[in-house]
A and B are shown apart, each in its own frame.
Chain A
Amino acid sequence: MRELISIPTRALMVKEWKSVKSKIIPLSIGLAIFSFLTIGLLKALPYIAEYMEELLPEIDEIMVTESFFSNANSIISIIAVIFCADAIAGEREKNTLVLIQTKPIKPSSVILAKLLMRFLLISIATVIGAIVFYISSVLLVGVPDPWIFVQSLLIFLLTLFTYVSIGVFISASTKTQISAGAISAGVMFMIVIISSLLVFEGIQPYNVFQLSVNLISTNFSTLTILLDCLILILIGIVITICSILVFKKEKN
């Protein structure tokens, strides 16, 4: 692996990790609290408003797991994309991008190093949040199916990869971190809203951005799941190639 990545790219990855790692603790704590609250609020609802007890179906592990992934899909994805706003636009704003441009590093390596380090950070925080959720569910509601849970988590991480690639693309295309953040939030808001509104049964198998949520209560064939994962990866790769092209174009 070390031989696959050149020394300059490795150094850039170290630099990227050093610049993002300070966010790992607050982000993990935030996601852990969010995970706990997902269950806590559902458990507390009937006590907060007694009439809701009759309206709400019985809270079980499937319901809370679905709720966790649904909330994660809306909130963590927006955080992930906004978090990428500094990737290129932030460096451009602070005049540090030129430090990278004067080094013998390919534009593709620059984009990949930035994307991978941010994806790694978001993934670590998400996994910590998921572990907290799982333990909370075991203690308060019931044991979620570990296979479905892990499957949904892995697919959610794949979705996050696509979201992070969108964030890096927006960052590479904009001049300032604030504009990158604002555009990212807008784009993600639209993706999340549109994909969560596509509730029609016939569309569900093709709703790749909601796959991690729908997987919990719906039975999809293995082929459908693999195909959806492939589509997610392809979207991520295409957007990453676009980011590289945009970054390369700066020379002209």
Chain B
Amino acid sequence: MKLGIRVESVVKKFGDLTALKTVSFDITKPGLYGLIGPNGAGKTTMFKCIAGLLVPTSGDVFINGGKVEYNDLSIKQKIGFLPEDSGLYDKLTAKEFLSIMAGMHGLSKKDAGKKVKEIVELVGINYPPSKIVKFMSSGQRRLLSIASILLHNPNIIILDESLSGLDPINREHISRIMRELSKENIVLFSSHILSDIWSLCERILILKEGNLILDDTPGEILSRVSDNAYFLQVLTDIEAAQDVLVSFPQVKSAKIHGDKLIFHLSDYEFINEIIRKITEKVKIKSFGPNIPDLDQLFVRLVNGI
């Protein structure tokens, strides 16, 4: 079976509003893929079109090589989709909820029992199975929701804002599950918090006002926005380091900001030579590309690079 998601020129209109404007992308191998964009960018609409919950106005979606036909229920067996703010059946216990969800995916009672145990272990649900959903914390509810979309062994997992509103411990826990799942499956997830996606994804797609404005690796995106700017921190004389830097014609500027020396290079190939010269005069504490903080980066990305 050919694993993959292919979105071809998808347009989705709601009356006069065009939520997606000819979006195309292709994902062909297992891994973690992030979709970011400000609120209202069309992330949820995109996911719903992929998961077969919305019919695109035009364009096609292909899942594992097959075109998504919107009356074909088999698509739902290939995808595990967790929508943003998805509710749960509050009156049920965790075990009842998962058993019913497994049943709704066509698992017999016997198979459902086994699968529920397996998934509870994988996801790391550590509260009693008899706990009623209504009395669960938001972290526990999120784990239960994630468990419920994995019961039918989907190879495409779509998580819409699954990390938002959680404390750092739960975020880390769910990130770990996502990394584990991405070893064999395509995990596509959205967030409007760049740090969530930055640390996890091998590829980032950015949606703005229904347009896919960027589709690249975090490294490539960084190199576009860092403007060949680097920072340097030294243990001794920062001004001496500045003097060394400005002596190179490839260094366009070198300014001291607090305990950092920020400089721009016109040619990256000279970086080793520059660093060698500096280490002859001063001791380097740290050095790297000067990245704006992730919030600034997000604003720069969505406002045009």
Tell me whether A and B are bound partners. Answer: yes
Chain A interface (Cβ < 8 Å from any Cβ of B): 6-8, 10-12, 14-15, 18-19, 22, 91, 94-96, 98-106, 251-252
> Which has the most chain A C-beta neighbours within 10 Å: B96, B105, B107?
B105
> Contacts A95-B87, A96-B88, A251-B55: A102 and B81 contacting too (C-beta < 8 A)?
yes
> Contacts A15-B100, A251-B54, A251-B55: A104 and B105 contacting too (C-beta < 8 A)?
yes
Q: How far is the CB of B292 from chain A (nearest CB, A)?
A: 36
Q: Does B51 contact A (CB under 8 A)?
A: yes
The 8 A CB mask of B286-305 against A (1 = contact, 0 = none) is 00000000000000000000
Give A8 to B102 CA distance when docked, in angstroms: 8
Q: Which of B70, B87, B91 contacts A19 (CB 8 A)?
A: B91
Judge whether A251 and B85 touch: CB under 8 Å: no
Q: Does B101 contact A (CB under 8 A)?
A: yes
Give A251 to B70 CA distance when docked, in angstroms: 9
Closest residue of B by beta carbon distance from A252: B55
Q: Please give, as numbers and ranges, the residues of chain A lying within 8 Å of B106 by CB-CB distance.
A: 6-8, 104
Q: Please give, as numbers and ranges, the residues of chain B lying within 8 Å of A99 by CB-CB distance.
A: 86-89, 101, 104, 148
Judge whether A98 and B103 touch: CB under 8 Å: no
Q: Which of B53, B70, B77, B85 contacts A104 (CB 8 A)?
A: B77
Q: Does B83 contact A (CB under 8 A)?
A: yes
Q: Does B199 contact A (CB under 8 A)?
A: no
Q: Does B149 contact A (CB under 8 A)?
A: yes
Closest residue of A by beta carbon distance from B81: A102
Give A135 to B96 CA distance when docked, in angstroms: 39
Q: How far is the CB of B82 from chain A (nearest CB, A)?
A: 8
Give A101 to B92 CA distance when docked, in angstroms: 19
Give A138 to B22 CA distance when docked, in angstroms: 73
Q: Please give, as numbers and ranges, the residues of chain B lying within 8 Å of A91 by CB-CB distance.
A: 87
> Contacts A95-B85, A102-B51: A14 and B76 contacting too (C-beta < 8 A)?
no
> Contacts A15-B89, A251-B53, A251-B54: A103 and B104 contacting too (C-beta < 8 A)?
yes
Q: Please give, as numbers and ranges, the residues of chain B lying within 8 Å of A103 by CB-CB distance.
A: 76, 101, 104-105
Q: Does B1 contact A (CB under 8 A)?
A: no
Give A176 to B59 CA distance when docked, in angstroms: 32
Q: How far is the CB of B161 from chain A (nearest CB, A)?
A: 13
Closest 8 CB pairs of A and B: A11-B103, A95-B87, A104-B73, A96-B87, A103-B104, A94-B87, A104-B76, A11-B104
